[in-house]
Amino acid sequence: MMNTAYALIFGFVITVGLPLNAVSLWILLRHHSLKLPSAVFMVNLAISDLLLIVSLPMRVYYYAKGTWTFSNMTCIWVTMLFRNNIRSSSIFITFISVDRLLAVVYPLRSRHLRTSSKAWKGAALVWLIVLVVNVPESVGFLRHLSTLQNSTCFEFDAENDTSLLQNETLTMATDYFQLVLLFAMLAVNIVSTAMVLWTVQRHQNESALVKNKVNVMLIFIMNLMMFTVFFLPVSLVVFFENFRPALSCLASLNCCLDPLLYYFSFDGFWKRKEEVDMSLGRE
């Protein structure tokens, strides 16, 4: 019964998240200038979400059939795409928060920091770190799967599997790395939200005035919700292995909400690239 529910939830994410993120990516690339660092981070966030979504049909198949008929390497690839989304999304969302913080609180002093070249370098570094972390995880999971007699996937129980315990330094370390990373990113988002809220309310200088305060605060509220509702629970699975499938379903839903972040981040999400280029001098 639970497997059917998991399959339906992942199917829902595919049905809703795939068109929303594909259209959002198209709009970002066609209608918005990648000279804005926030647009660069949103493009990478959309790519991260799409990579997760293309892996979900395998999860739907597994939970619908109750067995895994593909290779162990396929299972590893699908698992890594899911974990990479949690890590890369949390960092890109934090980058968006910090970019908005600098634009609102330090609009003039931060102009040399908020450039597209620096944004692309930061995005490249994020993907590099994510891929490096994949190496020990993949090794540990592959050794674990090779010892199983039944056809299974996405179930890595360190407490009940001796083979995985033997590779604890490879697998558990990455779980704790993800948990520490998310708490650090959450702390940055909380501080950014507090500083922007304080600045918007106090209006201490002319350049801190924001035309659409509601949209600005919605960006930060959504970012905090992403962490507390979707990212942190699935990272705490290191302590609650039995809840892994349910929390994975919950975490995958973040793909359906990220397009709202793109919409609220721009005063005119549908406006043409030329209009965005003209607005660069006013930000």
Domain residues of the chain, as ranges? 2-282
Model confidence, pTM: 0.85
Kindly report the CATH number that applies to the domain delimited by 2-282: 1.20.1070.10
Helix 213-225 and helix 72-105: axis angle, to 10°? 150
Q: How far apart are CA 101 and CA 117, in angstroms?
A: 19
Q: How far apart are CA 38 and CA 81, in angstroms?
A: 23
Residue 269 confidence (pLDDT): 44
- 3-class DSSP string for the chain: CHHHHHHHHHHHHHHHHHHHHHHHHHHHHHHCCCCCHHHHHHHHHHHHHHHHHHHHHHHHHHHHHCCCCCCHHHHHHHHHHHHHHHHHHHHHHHHHHHHHHHHHHCCCCCCCCCCHHHHHHHHHHHHHHHHHHHHHHHHHHHHHHHCCCCCCCCCCCCCCCHHHHHCHHHHHHHHHHHHHHHHHHHHHHHHHHHHHHHHHHHCCCHHHCCCCHHHHHHHHHHHHHHHHHHHHHHHHHHCCHHHHHHHHHHHHCHHHHHHHHHHHHCCCCCCCHHHHHHHHHHC
Residue 182 confidence (pLDDT): 92
- How is residue 221 written in tokens? 């509220």
- How is residue 7 written in tokens? 């399959």
In Å, how far from its chain's centre is CA 119?
16
Q: How far apart are CA 110 and CA 104, in angstroms?
A: 10
Q: Do the Cβ atoms of 181 and 87 come closer than 8 Å?
A: yes
Tens digit of pLDDT at every position of the chain (283 positions): 788 999 999 999 999 999 999 999 998 888 777 878 888 999 999 999 999 999 999 999 999 988 888 888 888 899 899 989 999 999 999 999 999 899 888 888 888 888 999 999 999 999 999 998 888 888 877 777 777 656 678 765 544 444 444 455 556 677 788 888 899 999 999 999 999 888 887 764 444 445 567 777 888 888 999 999 999 888 887 677 678 888 889 999 999 999 888 877 765 444 444 444 444 444 4
- How is residue 177 written in tokens? 């790395």
Residue 160 confidence (pLDDT): 45
Q: How far apart are CA 101 and CA 96, in angstroms?
A: 9
Q: How far apart are CA 88 and CA 44, in angstroms?
A: 9
